[in-house]
Amino acid sequence: VLKMMHAVSCHKSVNRMSASAVAACMAPLLLRALLAGDCELEGDFDISGDGSSQLLAAAAAANHAHVIVTTLLEEYDSIFG
């Protein structure tokens, strides 16, 4: 999957899909377990609360996933080459 994503990002002058753009699309799919793990409900979750702490955790997890996949794509040749 990373090889295909790298190939897409290598043609960014034609398809406008940079490594960051490909990562934004694919990171949630590739790192779904990471995202789910970072955003689990805590035992003392207050259903009447605003959920802002969960939203912040979800945003942080998504950002980490994006950075991980972007780095893998940008450094693909040095990691897998």
pLDDT tens digits, one per residue of 4-20: 999 999 999 999 999 99
* 29, two tokens: 């799919």
Q: Say if CB 35 and CB 59 are below 8 A apart.
A: no
The type of residue at 52 is S
Q: Does residue 58 register a pLDDT over 60?
A: yes
**In the structure, what pLDDT confidence band is assigned to residue 42 with cuts at 50, 70 and 90?**
low
Number of neighbouring beta carbons within 10 Å of residue 13: 7
> Radius of gyration over alpha carbons of the chain, in Å?
16
Predicted TM-score (pTM) of the model is: 0.74
